[in-house]
Amino acid sequence: MNGVVGDEIEDVEDVESFRLRARAWIRASLKPYSAERAMGLGSVSAEEELAAVAYERQLQRAFFDAGFAGICIPRKYSGQGLTPAHQRAFNEELAGYECPTRFQIPTMAPCAAVLLEFGTEEQKTRHLPAILKGEEIWMQFLSEPSGGSDLAGALTSAVRQGDDWVLNGSKIWTTGAWWSDWALCLARTNWDVPKHRGLTVFILPIRQPGIEISQIEMLNGGKDFCQEYLTDVVVPDADRVGDVDNGWTVCVRWMFHERTIFTSSYVTHPVGAPRGNGGAAPIDIARAADRLADPCARDLIGEARMLEVVSNELSRRISAGMTSRRMSDQAAAVSRLFGGTARARTTTIKSELAGPAAAAWSDDDGAASQAGVGFLMRQTSCIGGGTTEMARNVVSERVLGMPREPALDRDVPFRDVPRGGSRRA
Amino acid sequence: MLVELSSDQEFFRETTARFLREQVPAEQVRRLRDSPAGHDLEYWRRGAELGWTSLLVNEEVGGGSISGQGLVDLSLVAYEFGRHAAPGPLVPTNVVAAALSGTGGQAHAEVVGELLSGEAIAAWCYAEPPPYGRLGDIALEIAVEGADVVVNGIKRPVEAAGQARYLLVTGRTGGGLTQVLVPVDTPGVSTTPLRTVDLTRRFDAVAFDHVRLPTAAVVGEVGAAAEQVERQLQLALTILCAEAVGAMQTAFDSAVGWAFDRHSFGRPLASYQALKHRFADMKTWLEAGHAIADSAAAAVAADLPDAAELVSVAKAFIGDYGGELLQECVQLHGGIGLTFEHDLHLFLRRVALNRVLYGTPGEHRQRIADIVERRGAGARPEGAA
Ligand SMILES: Cc1cc2nc3c(=O)[nH]c(=O)nc-3n(C[C@H](O)[C@H](O)[C@H](O)COP(=O)(O)OP(=O)(O)OC[C@H]3O[C@@H](n4cnc5c(N)ncnc54)[C@H](O)[C@@H]3O)c2cc1C
């Protein structure tokens, strides 16, 4: 069987023999999946979180050594040079087993995906193998205190100085920046042109003197959300991604990879494990709450499963449509929107299933004990990765072709655009 | 509908689409509300020539598919039926033809032939009047008496019973299920027309009062038809879902067109963000409906292990969200959306009908919960705690 990988044609192992090889390794080497250890927005102590990060670095290295890291990354960057079908088979075999979750999103997608598309040969050779070996965890420095939806309105500035750039500003809402290594960062390089035309993307190490990281306590007590203050951060021009002032071109693809993280063939994800801030399955909560016999509870279990299956099938349809070019890349917003609202509804269902244990609980309540705080955090699925309102704008304007919202910042030099408030400096 | 059709499938779909456009434009559908049968026989016979009745039937008895997966091909026909709110007993005739050709060997070949040619119509007597516990509970009795079987009980609603020549009746024999093929003129069978939300689909209540038939009328084995019945249910659900998605598609397209066209306060409706966002939500429901209807069709066609779950997910989802989508379309049309003269209600009717037949969304959520429970919680590796 031949497969096209990057620009080379290589001999590709057939999916079934790959699957058997993966199955044998997984069963012999991995522990069961553990929701507690997986990346999330939970509230655990710094020591526990750092221990989990260190463990996953080793786990990622084990995947790499066994030849199962970067299944769709070309071999010349130390990946396996295989196809999305291989990645799917691997994810199926991985069902129920542990996985280095912190190396998947955003490290593999969107970050590694963006590097593959826009990075220089030198950048790719330097970072992709390091990621696959468990040495680099990446973050996206996109959102700023002044606004995240209006990405192109970024205020972080990058000023050219000889062969370097000097960055100043602040990024926010990065999950896990305090234990991560590298960032893909959007900055403004030109204030005299309209907003989309003065942006540039850079890569930079997170742990350095010019970057101060402060952890933000979330409403559930978790402290993984971070804000970064960049003060005279020097970035060599060799670490620029894409052309100067052409960062929006990179951003458009970056957003595409962001909206398709759940179907990305760069992401390893055990089939059936919860997506994002998942927690216990509805049926386990109902069992813990002793409500399995209650027809109302069963109705909700059925609804939650329905939404999960439909979300998956929708993502599959949209990604097939985009791959065959029958749908534009903007269609990714359709599955993003559906997935976000479906997960929010599922979170509500879990709270309903847990009953009183969603208000007050003890350790004996098992699976039901997470539902109360889960509900408090419900909107993460509709905010993280771009809000569902922004997805609705994209679907109506870019997919259905409805008139764009009036924008007061189009065709105006960015320095003249009015700016509003922020709760955080 | 599938994102990618083969050229044969595309040709097949387009042939039915063109035929329906010409034969049953909206005006004709409106007129048919006064027709007792809801469609003319010649229309159905010509549809049969286009392949509407043969896709689930074995080749040995005259059937055949386009793609090798007859149900997937049939779902294309059903989708076009929905897009045109087309008349005709698509579900019952196909389900009965499939049942007879799948289990009856040569025994019912003659009847299958009549169904294939469109000369006869069949109805599947499955649902029962209250009280019943849940979807699929069967009380109608089929007793074996010597060389005969005797049928007693009531079925409703039964689609096309008033037009059918044959009734496939699902009943209970002791602890198991039995199916018999009953010619509609057998003594003891009586049909009473029901009113319905759809303009062209017809339903009856059918009573069986000591209806006696030779055991040769049994389709499959006495008392051992449960799997067969489940299969028939899955086929019916697949067709209904594909049809509902077609109706959702037409209604949505029409509402989008209207939003560009209709002005309020000097600008098109499509320029208001409050409305654009509702269209965006509807678009996700529509695409999700396509996705799940197609996955269900593929799984049922290949009789995959997850077919039962996928088809119930499809029915629960399309039932609820299809209904919402249609009501949103009515809302966004304003007053005109509630009139008989506007076409929208033709599709609202079809979605409202299909939402309820063969299990409401709520009943299918219960089925899904049963499946989830049976499978055990989450994905757990063998041997792992
Ligand atoms: C779990 C999680 C993880 C995240 N991870 C990262 C990360 O790794 N890196 C990163 O850079 N950011 C990250 N974010 C930030 C996220 O991308 C932003 O929060 C998001 O894009 C919204 O930006 P904002 O918070 O500034 O809200 P704003 O942009 O100020 O929006 C406020 C509200 O107004 C609505 N709104 C804004 N503009 C419009 C409009 N034109 N039309 C209609 N409604 C509008 C929004 O939908 C929202 O409801 C993360 C967020 C979460 C919750």
CATH number of A235's domain: 2.40.110.10
Kindly report the three-state secondary structure assignment for every residue of B31-64.
HHHHCCCCCCHHHHHHHHHCCCCCCCCCHHHCCC
pLDDT in tens, B24-82: 999 999 999 999 999 999 999 999 999 999 999 998 888 999 999 999 999 999 999 99
Helices in A30-68 by DSSP H: which ranges?
A: 46-65
Phi/psi at A147 (nearest 5 deg)? 155, 145
Cβ–Cβ contact B288 with A under 8 A: yes
| Minimal C-alpha gap between A207 and chain B (Å) | 38
Cβ–Cβ contact A324 with B under 8 A: yes
Closest-CA residue of chain B to A404: B271
Instruction: Give the contacts of B202 (CB within 8 A, at least 6 positions apart).
Output: B36, B37, B38, B159, B160, B161, B162, B163, B193, B196
User: Which CATH number goes with the domain that contains A326?
Assistant: 1.20.140
Q: What share of chain A is helix, strand, coil (3-state, %, to 5)?
A: 50, 15, 35
The residue contributing the CA closest to ligand 1 atom 51 is A384
Residue A6 lies in a domain: no
Residue A420 lies in a domain: no
CA of A390 to the centre of ligand 1 (A): 9
Same domain, A181 and A250: yes
Cβ–Cβ contact B279 with A under 8 A: yes
Same domain, A30 and A112: yes
Q: What's the pLDDT score for residue A274?
A: 76
Residues 311-330 of B with CB under 8 A from A: 313, 316-317
Report the distance separating Cα B287 and Cα A310, nearest Å.
Answer: 10
Same domain, A32 and A131: yes
What DSSP string runs through A243-267?
-TTBHHHHHHHHHHHHHTGGG-TT-
Q: What's the pLDDT score for residue B133?
A: 65
Residue B122: both structure tokens together: 């069949």
Q: Is A148 in the pocket of ligand 1 (CB under 6 A)?
A: yes
Same domain, A353 and A390: yes
Cβ–Cβ contact A305 with B under 8 A: yes
Whole-number Cα distances in Å, A236 to A142, A202, A245:
19, 9, 16
One digit per residue, the tens of pLDDT, for chain A of length 425 reads: 334 444 455 578 999 999 999 999 999 999 998 877 777 767 788 999 999 999 999 999 999 999 999 999 999 999 999 999 999 999 999 999 999 999 999 999 999 999 999 999 999 999 999 999 999 999 999 999 999 999 999 999 999 999 999 999 999 999 999 999 999 999 999 999 999 999 999 999 999 999 999 999 999 998 999 999 999 999 999 999 999 999 999 999 999 999 898 889 999 999 988 765 568 999 999 999 999 999 999 999 999 999 999 999 999 999 999 999 999 999 999 999 999 999 999 999 999 999 999 999 998 999 999 999 999 999 999 999 999 999 999 999 999 999 999 988 888 999 999 888 777 76
| Minimal C-alpha gap between A159 and chain B (Å) | 37
Strands B267-268 and B263-264: antiparallel
Report the distance separating Cα A119 and Cα A125, nearest Å.
Answer: 10
Mean pLDDT of B84-107: 91
- Extract the runs of DSSP E, i.e. beta strands, from chain B: 122-125, 141-145, 148-159, 166-173, 176-183, 189-193, 203-214, 263-264, 267-268
Same domain, A227 and A303: no
| Minimal C-alpha gap between B333 and chain A (Å) | 17
Q: What's the pLDDT score for residue A41?
A: 66
Cβ–Cβ contact A46 with B under 8 A: no
| Domains located in chain B, CATH noted | 7-120 (1.10.540.10), 123-217 (2.40.110.10), 226-379 (1.20.140.10)
For A419, the 3-state DSSP assignment is coil
Please check whether residue A227 is in contact with residue A423, taking contact to mean a CB–CB distance below 8 angstroms: no
For A83, the 3-state DSSP assignment is coil
Q: What's the pLDDT score for residue B377?
A: 45
Region of poorest pLDDT, from A363-367, B124-128, B267-271, B277-281: A363-367
Residue A408 lies in a domain: no
Q: What's the pLDDT score for residue A314?
A: 97
Q: pLDDT at residue B230 above 50?
A: yes
Residue A424 lies in a domain: no
Q: Is A387 in the pocket of ligand 1 (CB under 6 A)?
A: yes
Same domain, A279 and A380: yes
Same domain, A372 and A393: yes
Same domain, A201 and A235: yes
Chain A CB contacts of B268 under 8 Å are: 403
Count Cβ atoms below 10 Å from residue A244 Cβ, excluding itself.
15
User: Which CATH number goes with the domain that contains A98?
Assistant: 1.10.540.10
Q: Is A277 in the pocket of ligand 1 (CB under 6 A)?
A: no
Same domain, A211 and A222: yes
Q: What's the pLDDT score for residue A3?
A: 40
Report the distance separating Cα A141 and Cα A213, nearest Å.
Answer: 12
- Specify the ligand 1 atom closest to the Cα of A41: 1
Same domain, A193 and A112: no
Residue A8 lies in a domain: no
The model carries a pTM of 0.94
Cβ–Cβ contact B377 with A under 8 A: yes
Quote the percentage of chain B above a pLDDT of 90.
90
- The pLDDT mean for chain B works out to 95
- Specify the ligand 1 atom closest to the Cα of A150: 29
Strands A2-5 and B176-183: unpaired
* Number of domains observed in the structure of chain A: 3
Closest-CA residue of chain B to A300: B365
Residue A51 lies in a domain: yes
Same domain, A285 and A325: yes
Same domain, A115 and A153: no
| Minimal C-alpha gap between A102 and chain B (Å) | 20
Q: What's the pLDDT score for residue A4?
A: 42
**Could you report the predicted ipTM of this complex, rounded to two decimals?**
0.95
**What domain range is A82 assigned to?**
15-137
Residue A267 lies in a domain: no
Helices B273-301 and B70-84: angle between axes, nearest 10 degrees: 150
A118, A137, A156: which is the final residue of a domain? A137
Q: What's the pLDDT score for residue B353?
A: 98
CA atoms within 13 A on the CB side of B178: 24
Q: pLDDT at residue B132 above 90?
A: no
